[in-house]
């Protein structure tokens, strides 16, 4: 009798595992464990879905503000925005809980709403019970990362969770963290909340996974279109509370000490694997770099699988789901004694930057990563303003690039920072994963639309490769 226990059954990765294993002939017993309240998973409750609800309001205001045909710039009703977000999130979460409840209706499946922790290798304490499953799948997601900064414990600060529920904002704020969360919420605070923001950026530019031109474009866009001050080459040193209840952040900017004062401190410093309550110190598992293999097994125990944000590999919803399905398949393969599948997805990354009017998307290689991998490449870059359709959308900023193998025309990667770049990412994923020769791609749209920016990239790189 094969028993599998999924710890973190409400999240996207955990549900994917359960969905695959619930009817699997190799599994005789399936235990689902989650202590989430109300339950539904991070993405639904506090992640991508509620944030996109808020960003849509910012996008409407931004585009109205930049459209000379509009008589007045509308103001966003924050109470209505948060209420709408809450209603939709409640519906999404109820649907997710319903799926887990449906799994639990099967005779061989049990759902336990409680906290699970290891007490020995693959031995779990769940409430007042002890479970000894044959396989454990850890899918506990991620938690807010709070940096170790002197003085922070004495200063009130807000994270993305607070911003998602806010119906009022301060006059000014200083932001620590300019990764995905910061890139998405900074324009929201500026556009909808009218917050005068100063952002601390450690490097020369944000978007570490992008070619430099895209990070530079973000800097220009945020400074000019959203009025945000961004301090590059700057590092936080300490923080303190001011006499009027605000915050004073001490930084070092290009080697020179400076201070930034504001009404509020926002921590958008990313997330970390949610491992604190698992009791891994009672097992052979050591959560360090490389602790999860390409088959999604824990390096130190091949019958423990670690999927989703908790493994620290790539904190993206769709990756979590794919990892869940891959892990479930590998559990079944392992039971049968078959070879296991590796999970090595095409690099794909989307940030709903610029109030989601100017999202950044990357699929496959950037120019830098392709050259580092040894490819001889042709790169074409095109500005959004070169295609008049973007002007008709009152969103004429941004750029896109295509990376192609010079020797055989294979499309290696696409990057876009422009209106509808997120929508084009799926098309380019198909092109990249299929290993398509750019010369075989149609270089015309069926109707004048924003994807015409791709046509120009296809033509330029095809000509460089040689038709």
CATH class for the region spanning 3-144+272-336: alpha beta
Tokens in use for 351? 């940030």
CATH number of 152-269: 3.50.50.60
Against a cut of 0.95, is the pTM above it?
no
Greatest alpha-carbon span in the chain: 70
Banded pLDDT at 443 (limits 50, 70, 90) = confident
Range list for CATH 3.50.50.60 in the chain? 3-144+272-336, 152-269
Residue 389's pLDDT is what?
87
Residue 393's pLDDT is what?
86
Average pLDDT score over residue span 249-260: 96
Range list for CATH 3.30.390.30 in the chain? 359-465
Residue 451's pLDDT is what?
83
Q: Is the pLDDT of residue 447 over 80?
A: no
Residue 467's pLDDT is what?
61
What separation, in Å, do the N-terminal and C-terminal C-alpha atoms of the chain show?
60
Q: Is the pLDDT of residue 209 over 80?
A: yes
Banded pLDDT at 314 (limits 50, 70, 90) = confident
Average pLDDT score over residue span 251-274: 96
Residue 248's pLDDT is what?
98
Banded pLDDT at 446 (limits 50, 70, 90) = low
Tell me the sheet residues that pair with 50: none
Q: What is the DSSP letter of 440?
A: G
Q: Is the pLDDT of residue 305 over 70?
A: yes
Average pLDDT score over residue span 37-52: 87
Q: Is the pLDDT of residue 255 over 80?
A: yes
Q: Is the pLDDT of residue 300 over 70?
A: yes
How many of the other CB atoms lie within 10 Å of CB of 221? 19
Q: Is the pLDDT of residue 448 over 70?
A: no
Residue pair 11/70 in contact by the 8 Å Cβ criterion:
no
What gap in Å lies between CA 201 and CA 78, rounded to an integer?
28
Residue pair 155/146 in contact by the 8 Å Cβ criterion:
no
Which residue is associated with the tokens 């075989």? Answer: 440
Considering Cα of 175, then 178, then 183, then 185, what sign does the dihedral take?
Answer: negative
Average pLDDT score over residue span 382-403: 91
Render pLDDT for 158-181 as a digit per residue (tens, 0 to 9).
999 999 999 999 999 999 999 999
Q: Please work out, in degrees rounded to the nearest 5, the angle formed at the alpha carbon of residue 332 by the alpha carbons of 328 and 338.
A: 125
Distances in whole angstroms, Cα of residue 48 to Cα of each of 45, 184, 185, 455: 8, 10, 11, 30
Sheet harboring 229-231: ordered strands across?
157-158, 264-267, 172-176, 196-200, 229-231
Express as a percent the part of the chain with pLDDT over 90: 85
Average pLDDT, the chain: 94
For every residue of 77-141, which 3-state class applies, written as one string? CHHHHHHHHHHHHHHHHHHHHHHHHHHHCCCCEEEECCCEEEEECCEEEECCEEECCCEEEECCC
Report whether CATH 3.30.390.30 matches the domain 359-465: yes
Residue pair 443/396 in contact by the 8 Å Cβ criterion:
no
Banded pLDDT at 86 (limits 50, 70, 90) = very high
Average pLDDT score over residue span 336-353: 93
What gap in Å lies between CA 23 and CA 30, rounded to an integer?
10
């Amino acid at each position: 009798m094969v028993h599998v226990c999924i710890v973190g059954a409400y999240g996207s990765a955990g549900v994917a595992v359960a969905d695959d294993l619930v009817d699997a002939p190799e599994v005789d017993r399936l235990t689902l464990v989650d202590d989430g309240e109300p339950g539904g998973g991070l993405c639904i409750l506090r992640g991508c879905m509620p944030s996109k609800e808020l960003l849509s309001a910012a996008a409407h205001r931004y585009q109205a503000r930049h459209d000379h045909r509009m008589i007045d710039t509308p103001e966003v009703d924050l109470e209505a925005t948060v209420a709408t977000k809450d209603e939709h999130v409640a519906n999404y979460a109820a649907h997710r809980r319903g799926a887990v409840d449906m799994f639990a209706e099967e005779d061989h499946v049990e759902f336990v709403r409680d906290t699970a922790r290891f007490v020995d290798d693959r031995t779990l304490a769940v409430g007042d019970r002890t479970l000894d499953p044959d396989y454990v799948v850890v899918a506990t997601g991620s938690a807010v990362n709070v940096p170790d900064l002197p003085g922070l414990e004495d200063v009130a600060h807000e994270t993305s969770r607070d911003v998602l529920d806010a119906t009022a904002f301060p006059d000014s704020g200083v932001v620590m963290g300019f990764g995905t969360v910061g890139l998405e919420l900074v324009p929201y605070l500026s556009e909808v909340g009218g917050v005068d923001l100063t952002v601390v950026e450690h490097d020369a530019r944000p978007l570490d996974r992008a070619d430099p031109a895209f990070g530079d474009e973000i800097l220009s866009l945020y400074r000019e279109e959203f009025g945000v001050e961004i301090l590059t080459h700057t590092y936080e040193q300490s923080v303190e509370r001011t006499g009027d209840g605000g915050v004073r952040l001490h930084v070092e900017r290009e080697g020179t000490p400076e201070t930034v004062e504001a009404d509020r401190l926002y921590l958008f410093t990313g997330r970390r694997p949610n491992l604190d309550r698992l009791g891994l110190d009672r097992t052979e598992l050591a959560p360090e770099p490389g602790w999860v293999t390409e088959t999604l097994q824990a390096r130190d125990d091949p019958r423990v699988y670690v999927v989703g944000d908790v493994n620290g590999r790539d904190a993206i919803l769709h990756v979590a789901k794919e990892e869940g399905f891959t892990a479930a398949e590998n559990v079944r393969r392992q039971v049968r004694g078959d070879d296991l599948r590796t999970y090595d997805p095409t690099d794909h990354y989307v940030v709903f930057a610029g109030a989601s009017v100017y999202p950044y998307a990357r699929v496959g290689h950037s120019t830098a990563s392709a050259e580092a991998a040894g490819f001889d490449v042709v790169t074409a870059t095109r500005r959004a303003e070169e295609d008049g359709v973007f002007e008709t959308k009152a969103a004429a900023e941004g750029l896109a690039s295509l990376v192609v193998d010079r020797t055989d025309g294979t499309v290696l990667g696409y990057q876009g920072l422009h209106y509808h770049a997120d929508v084009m990412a799926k098309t380019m994923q198909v092109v990249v994963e299929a290993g398509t020769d750019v010369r075989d791609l149609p270089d015309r749209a069926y109707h004048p639309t924003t994807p015409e920016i791709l046509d120009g990239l296809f033509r330029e790189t095809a000509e460089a490769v040689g038709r």
